[in-house]
A and B are shown apart, each in its own frame.
Chain A
Amino acid sequence: MESSKKIFINGSFLIIESLARAGAEVFIGYPITPANYLYLYSSKRLPLTFHAPDEITTLQWMSGLSASGKLPITATSFPGFALMIESINMAFMMELPMVIILAQRLGPSTGTATCGASGDLLLVRGMISGGYPVPTFSISSFQDCWDIPPKALETSVKLRTPVIILTSKEITMTNRSFDLNSLKEIKKLDRKFYESNENYIPYKPEKDFVPQFLPLSTTKHQVRFTASTHDQKGILQHSTREALENTARLQKKVLYNLKNYTYFDYQEDGYENLIITYDVSSSVSQEAVRELRNEKISVSLLVVKTILPVSEIYYEIISKYKRIFVVEENLSGQFCEILFGSETPKNVVKINSIGNMIGIDQIKEEVKKNG
């Protein structure tokens, strides 16, 4: 085995290098804490960087670049993300690939820019008018900073949709020693556009419910991108059957293909206790599990990386357990609510915190108390 090559970096560094290797071509951005390192590294590494004056412009420029065949990314935090949402809806409706990195911080409002949180999941879950899910990935470790972004980019292209990468200040601004040799090779995405001589119909779906993509640079076929309700040709319609089917397909394609982009870590240890977690709470959960096992308490761990839509695999795992602990750094237990609804089932315990990382002891105590 090759000896370790230690480097000392923050998570933003790995995220941008991995996205660049995977084929992200352009960063559009503006400064916002805690996403500034993502902007900084992108401006050095991505083939192109454009400095947008604001959040709406960011998403609109990204959409334009995506429609012309480029793969754009951006990074922001809640205050900026909130302003992008109408345009994310547009990109979702137009079916434009792009990656939006949401580096979470403590809210509400401007909250505390330099304090970590996992507080935006419900917003992301509900951001598309009509409740349509957008593929959303969560980074829970430095290794994920390298492994997850290329999968997000690939999903974005394969499904013709914007995707979200959720991370937080504790990853984007934290420095860690890291073994360079642990980084797996990343292959550049092989992107294919519509090639047939047959008339191109911009929103005619294939078997996987995803229409083939053709950028505006083509001179072979007419291309249309449409934000309003439209038929397969991309022509505005009030509510014809074809147009409504096309709209409903947007949900179908995200769900039908979910199995191809479901990523998680599952460590099974008995069927008594299961800790479910994501984002930076995963690391403390992992540590708590280790310590609990040392104390001969069996605990399984599910670290969710594809967080939206919720895969049925997660429910299959959950169904095996007597007790479930959902660990997440927000006040109300957002993922718990998505998994189990507004009324928390009796065998489910929420472990939450705001303004501080959840403590290892806090998790252990809850497991011991309820387990």
Chain B
Amino acid sequence: MDKQFFNSNKLPFCPGCGHHLISQNTEKALSKLQMDPKDVILVTDIGCHGIIDKFANFHTVHGLHGRSVALAAGISLGLKNKKKKVIVFIGDGGATIGMQHILEASRLDLDLTVIIHNNMLYGMTGGQASGFTPKGFITTTTPQESRTRNYNICDLALSAKASFVARVIAKPDFSDIIVSGIKNDGFSLIEVLELCPSYALKMNKNMKLSKILEDLQEEEFVKTNPNYKWDFYTNSTENLLEDIKIFEKKYNNNVNKTLCIQISGSAGEGVQTAGEAFSYAAILSGLSVNQRGSYPVTVGVGFSTSEIIFSPENESTYSVNTPDIIIITSTDGFSVNIEKLKNFKGILYLDLSLQTPQTEAKIIRYDFRKFGPKNSAIFALFYVLKDLQFFNIESLTEALEKLNLKNKVSFEKFKEDLNF
């Protein structure tokens, strides 16, 4: 077995950069764990830390700036194999960009180990301040010292319930912390503090990492939360078609061409469900149907329109030029149709409460709201079906039963009122 984790002793970092120490300690930790390099997946992204991957003998995935934790999360979820170890190298810049991904992986306690190379600035792009830059730190974009405080990523991860969180100042040997992180059967975050020799050390003379921690009233530590186990969401059916309702033709119809009914009312008054019931009835009567809804994004406010096209052809069309019948049961439904009604030449069924619109339609008025708003749409459809006799009204009753609605609407009152 090839136990060499890197293919070169000469790593691609600037002299004095802490990235050397992280790579060396990771290698040491993997050796201690006697890992097979091909059981290790290193996920990196944009930043100096990421150029390590070409020196690696394990699997490497080199992704987008800040997204490596999410990419690694997908790999961990996909492999679901305790033998495989997914390790992420990310910078503090990347961790700033992809903070959400770190919190999400913490919340779900996903099995991966993230090592943040925190040199408190964006190194590769020119020494700019990151969300990890502490107050008082000089970077190329905060030449007069950073005026804002830094994220405490360890606190954030711990509060999101990551099961292993450590902060360490880069030093010759901290491999045991990485060993513990990799061994942890959950999300491990290791924040390694270092100073970038190309930018930080040049701009912040005599800066010491221990002093930075002291000023922040922080320290090196290893903390844990209990491991969090959850089961993957798996399918509840092997076939969506299995439990679906099959409609057998049971009633005759009097429809000899494609027709379209549009019913408009208020959201929350059962317009879509009424349209669905009418569609069921049409199918039970041997017709083909297309039911299209139109409503605002809000669930219970504003207008709601259901357009039902029904046809004796094998397949109904997906749309028509204009409906043959428009039913309006409320003010919301009225307002949304004012323009459309002007040139409408079909039959307009209008609730008694509504004013007479400008229209070329034949108007039929009735009190569709007499059994309350929630009954208005379905009652109106019973009324229209009784009036126009497209198919047997029994089919609509059966549709209500199929939808478990018969007891939820005032069906007996409809029957009495319309005498069917």
Which chain B residue shows the least CB distance to A115?
Answer: B294
Residues 257-310 (chain B) with a chain A CB within 8 angstroms = 276, 279-280, 282-283, 287-297
Main secondary structure of the interface of B (DSSP, over half): mixed
Q: For the complex, is B73 an interface residue (Cβ under 8 Å from A)?
A: yes
Checking A49, A112, A176, A224 against B61 with a beta-carbon cut-off of 8 angstroms, the contacting residue is A224
The distance in angstroms between the C-alpha atoms of A67 and B234, with both chains bound, is 20
A312-345 with Cβ < 8 A to chain B:
none
| A99 → chain B closest CB, angstroms | 15
Judged by a CB distance under 8 angstroms, whether A244 is at the interface is no
Query: Which of chain A's residues have a CB closer than 8 A to the CB of B245?
Result: 7-8
Interfacial chain A residues near B78, Cβ < 8 Å: 26, 64-70, 215-216
Cβ-neighbour of A44 out of B57, B236, B276, B319 (below 8 A): B236
A9 to B243 CA separation, bound complex (whole angstroms): 12
Asked if A63 is an interface residue, CB under 8 A from chain B, the answer is yes
Contact (Cβ within 8 A) B62 A225: yes
CB 8 Å contact bits of A215-250 with B (1 = contact, 0 = none): 111111111111110100011100000000000000
Q: A222 to B279, Cβ gap below 8 A?
A: no
B residues within 8 A CB of A222? 37-38, 57-60
Does B71 sit within 8 A of A, measured CB to CB?
A: yes
CB of B366 closer than 8 Å to a CB of A: no
Interface-facing stretch out of A129-137, A148-156, A204-212, A355-363 = A355-363
- Are A173 and B293 in contact, CB atoms less than 8 angstroms apart? yes
Q: Is B77 within 8 A of A64, CB to CB?
A: yes
Q: Mark B317-337, 1 if CB is under 8 A from A, else 0.
A: 111110000000000000000
Q: How far is the CA of A63 from the CA of B61 in the complex (A)?
A: 10
Which of A90, A357, A360 touches B63 (beta carbons < 8 Å)? A90
**B381: interface (CB < 8 Å):** no
Question: Chain B contact residues (Cβ within 8 angstroms of A): what range?
Answer: 35 or more
Q: Which residue of chain B is the closest to A223 with respect to CB atoms?
A: B59
Distance, CA A113 to CA B299, complexed state (A): 12
| Interface core residue of B53, B60, B100, B317 (most chain A CB under 10 Å) | B60
Is B175 at the interface (CB under 8 A from chain A)? Answer: no
**CA A115 – CA B303 in complex, angstroms?**
14
Select B74's contact among A8, A16, A63, A228, beta carbons within 8 Å: A63
Please encode chain A, from 21 to 54, with 1 for each CB lying within 8 Å of some chain B CB and 0 for all others.
0000010100001000000010111111111011
Cα–Cα, bound, A287→B316 (Å): 10
| CB-based contact A177/B233 at 8 Å | no
B297 CB to nearest chain A CB (Å): 5
A301 within 8 A of B: no
Contacts of A141 in B (CB 8 A): 318
In angstroms, Cα B240 to Cα A17, docked, is: 6
Does B244 interact with chain A (Cβ within 8 Å)? yes
B70 with A68: CB separation less than 8 A: no
Determine if A41 and B240 form an interchain contact, defined as CB atoms under 8 angstroms apart. Answer: yes
Q: Does B79 contact A (CB under 8 A)?
A: yes
A251 within 8 A of B: no
Contacts A69-B78, A177-B288, A284-B318; is A64 near B232 (CB within 8 Å)?
Answer: no
Q: Which residues of B (37-92) have their CB < 8 Å from a CB of A?
A: 37-39, 41, 46, 51, 53-54, 57-64, 67, 70-79, 81, 84
**With A44-B236, A45-B240, A227-B62 as contacts: A176 and B290 at CB distance below 8 Å:** yes
Known contacts A6-B247, A16-B240: does B279 contact A175 (CB below 8 Å)?
Answer: yes
Instruction: Say yes or no: A8 contacts B279, CB within 8 Å.
Output: yes
Contact B74 A177 (CB under 8 A): no
Which residues does chain B contribute within 8 Å of A360, judged by CB atoms? 317, 319-321
Check if A5 is an interface residue, CB within 8 A of chain B. yes
Interface magnitude class on chain A: 35 or more
Inter-chain contact A44/B237, CB cutoff 8 Å: yes
* Interfacial chain B residues near A215, Cβ < 8 Å: 78
Q: Is A78 an interface residue (CB 8 A)?
A: no
Asked if B74 contacts A60 (CB within 8 A), the reply is yes
For B298, give the chain A residue with the smallest CB separation.
A114
Contact A177 B292 (CB under 8 A): no
> Are A8 and B319 in contact, CB atoms less than 8 angstroms apart?
no
Report chain A residues within 8 Å CB of B240: 13, 16-17, 20, 41, 44-45
Most B Cβ at <10 Å: residue of A115, A173, A183, A222: A222
Q: Does B241 contact A (CB under 8 A)?
A: yes
Q: A48-B234, A283-B319 are in contact. Are A236 and B74 (CB under 8 A)?
A: no
The answer on a CB contact under 8 Å between B59 and A57 is no
Contact yes or no, A227 B64, CB < 8 A: yes
Q: Tell whether, in the assembled complex, residue A219 and residue B38 are in contact, meaning their CB atoms are under 8 Å apart.
A: yes
B74 A67 Cβ-Cβ under 8 A: yes
A-chain residues with CB within 8 Å of residue B183 when the two chains form the complex? none
Decide if A56 is an interface residue (CB 8 Å cutoff): yes
Evaluate whether A61 and B73 lie within 8 angstroms (CB atoms) in the complex, with A7-B244, A45-B235, A220-B38 already known: yes
Chain B residues proximal to chain A, CB less than 8 Å: 36-39, 41, 46, 51, 53-54, 57-64, 67, 70-79, 81, 84, 100-101, 104, 232-241, 244-249, 276, 279-280, 282-283, 287-297, 314, 316-321
Please provide the 6 A-B residue pairs with the shortest distance between their CB atoms, ordered closest to farther: A64-B74, A68-B78, A60-B70, A283-B318, A61-B74, A64-B75
Beyond A28-B74, A47-B235, A287-B318, list 16 extra A-B contacts (CB 8 Å).
Answer: A9-B244, A26-B78, A43-B233, A45-B238, A53-B104, A61-B70, A61-B74, A64-B78, A94-B63, A114-B294, A176-B289, A177-B279, A217-B81, A226-B62, A228-B46, A357-B319
